[in-house]
């Protein structure tokens, strides 16, 4: 089975951290530290993903100094954000809410009112029609109870259809009927805007949202990759850090040498190592699943027998596994030249005709063309 993080903007920003809101020009960001309100379960939280996107930095006209400070902030919070993706729904929501509050506090302290206002506008655009369920926007638009209830019913149907599709995906049992149900629910929700909203409300909404900004094409919306925890044993390399590898694309994968599914990916990893040379680093993290895999000598012997020539971190205590909150052998993470996670694949890259290796290679080409 495989699960690939190549999703819609809504799915990618939520993850579920990720995941991951508008202000009038006279409104302060501090006044809406929790703008979602009672309907928060239906309103996607996209702030964390948005503030990682270079296009958003450019739109906000952040200076080089502001961006440097923002990246220092990411270094403090991104690990918690990334690990939150595997928390139960309620704990995940609480964690993201707290992290967003920290992000808003950072923007309040380090950016101008104009920049804060524009960020709010971008955030709401990313939320799509669900932005109308925000408490702050509802007040500004004077939303009627019946309007809100109609939007909630449509949101429920979309959530139910999406959940059914996600469950089927986990079981490798996706059907065209399930995919159509999600598409139809999303379409019904989107098309309801003109039916539910009054003309005066629509005009007011356009004023609040400000200039158009395309959020669906943002690419860098995931956290910085967690730094490696130092270990005693490395194979094919001296100890490395992700910071040392800035300027290169890193293909970091967790594996266990007695894992059959992991072996199915070995030839792809080695092909990448041979194909890309110094521009791309293939980095294996051998994390034990069995007692035999806790023996460094056995790990090294297995790597030699499999003819693995790329650097391998021997994670005997599973410290890196825990820091990344990894859940599956194998998992491949694609890290860009600036140290940000861009996509990942869980399971065999070519499971039952899947083309995960080709999809990742396409992404590698895009990342190599990006400026560091």
DSSP assignments along 96-146, one per residue = HHHHHHHHHHHHHHHS-HHHHHHHHHHHHHHHGGGGGG-HHHHHHHT--HH
Q: How far apart are CA 196 and CA 130, in angstroms?
A: 13
pLDDT digits (tens, 9 = 90+) for 223-245: 999 999 999 999 999 999 999 99
The per-residue pLDDT for 34 is 53
pLDDT digits (tens, 9 = 90+) for 291-309: 999 999 999 999 999 999 9
Q: Say which residues have a Cβ less than 8 Å from residue 231's Cβ, sequence separation at least 6.
A: 239, 313, 314, 315, 316, 317, 319, 320
Structure tokens at 317: 């205590």
Question: To the nearest 10°, the Cα dihedral for 274, 279, 282, 283?
Answer: 140
Longest dimension (CA), the chain: 72
Place of tokens 């992290």: 99
pLDDT band at 35 (very low <50, low <70, confident <90, very high): low
Q: How far apart are CA 347 and CA 328, in angstroms?
A: 7
pLDDT digits (tens, 9 = 90+) for 37-93: 678 889 999 999 999 999 999 999 999 999 999 999 999 999 999 999 999 989 999
Instruction: Provide the whole-model pTM.
Output: 0.87
- pLDDT above 80: residue 176: yes
Give how far Cα 93 sits from Cα of 43, 98, 155, 204, Å: 11, 9, 17, 30
User: What does the DSSP assignment read for 144-185?
Assistant: -HHHHHHHHHHHHHHHHHHHHHHHHHHTT---HHHHHHHHHH
Angle subtended by helix axes 356-369 and 260-276, to nearest 10: 30
C-beta separation of 29 from 108 below 8 A: yes
In the three-class reduction of DSSP (H, G, I as helix; E, B as strand; rest coil), residue 285 is classed as strand
C-beta separation of 103 from 47 below 8 A: yes
Q: CA 287 from chain center: how many Å? A: 23
What integer best gives the mean pLDDT of the chain?
89
C-beta separation of 367 from 272 below 8 A: no
Beta strands in the chain (DSSP E): 3-4, 234-235, 249-255, 280-286, 312-314, 331-335, 341-346
Q: Say which residues have a Cβ less than 8 Å from residue 88's Cβ, sequence separation at least 6.
A: none
Q: How far apart are CA 295 and CA 299, in angstroms?
A: 6
pLDDT digits (tens, 9 = 90+) for 187-202: 999 999 999 999 999 9
Higher pLDDT: 34 or 336? It is 336
C-beta separation of 96 from 17 below 8 A: yes
The per-residue pLDDT for 89 is 87
- Considering the chain, what percentage of its residues have pLDDT values greater than 90? 84
In the three-class reduction of DSSP (H, G, I as helix; E, B as strand; rest coil), residue 50 is classed as helix
Q: Which of 343, 250, 328, 348 is nearest to 287 (CA)?
A: 328
Strands 312-314 and 280-286: parallel
Q: How far apart are CA 332 and CA 328, in angstroms?
A: 10
User: What does the DSSP assignment read for 192-245?
Assistant: THHHHS-HHHHHHHHHHH-S----TT----SPBPPPPPP-S-EESSS---TTTT
The per-residue pLDDT for 19 is 33
């Amino acid at each position: 089975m495989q699960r690939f993080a190549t999703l819609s903007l809504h799915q990618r920003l939520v993850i579920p951290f990720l995941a991951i809101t508008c202000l009038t020009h006279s409104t302060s960001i501090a006044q809406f530290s929790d703008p979602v309100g009672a309907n928060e379960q239906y309103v996607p939280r996209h702030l964390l993903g948005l503030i990682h996107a270079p296009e958003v930095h450019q739109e906000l006209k952040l200076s080089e100094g502001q961006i440097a400070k923002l990246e220092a902030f990411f270094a403090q919070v991104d690990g918690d954000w990334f690990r939150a993706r595997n928390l139960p729904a309620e704990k995940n929501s609480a964690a993201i809410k707290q992290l967003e509050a920290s992000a808003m506090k950072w923007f309040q302290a380090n950016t101008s009112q104009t920049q804060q206002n524009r960020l709010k506008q971008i955030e709401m655009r990313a939320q799509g029609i669900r932005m109308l369920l925000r408490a702050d926007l509802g007040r500004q638009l004077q939303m009627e109870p019946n309007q809100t209830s109609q939007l909630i019913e449509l949101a429920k149907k979309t959530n139910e259809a999406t959940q059914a599709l996600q469950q089927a995906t986990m079981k490798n049992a996706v059907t065209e009927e399930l995919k159509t149900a999600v598409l139809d629910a999303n379409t019904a929700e989107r098309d309801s805007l003109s039916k539910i909203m009054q003309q005066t409300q629509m005009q007011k909404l356009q004023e609040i949202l400000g200039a158009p900004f395309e959020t669906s094409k943002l690419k860098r919306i995931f956290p910085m990759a967690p730094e490696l925890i130092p270990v005693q044993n490395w194979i094919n390399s001296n100890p490395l850090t992700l910071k040392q590898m800035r300027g290169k694309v890193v293909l970091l994968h967790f594996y266990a040498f007695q894992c059959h599914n992991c072996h199915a990916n070995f030839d792809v990893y080695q092909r990448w190592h041979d194909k890309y040379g110094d521009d791309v680093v293939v980095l294996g993290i051998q994390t034990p699943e069995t007692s035999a895999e806790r023996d460094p000598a056995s790990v090294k012997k297995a790597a030699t027998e499999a003819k693995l020539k790329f650097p391998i971190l021997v994670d005997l205590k599973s410290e890196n596994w825990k820091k990344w909150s990894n859940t599956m052998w194998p998992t491949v993470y694609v890290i860009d030249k600036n140290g940000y996670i861009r996509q990942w694949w869980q399971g065999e890259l070519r499971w039952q005709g899947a083309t995960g290796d080709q999809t990742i290679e396409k992404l590698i080409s895009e990342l190599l063309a990006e400026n560091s």
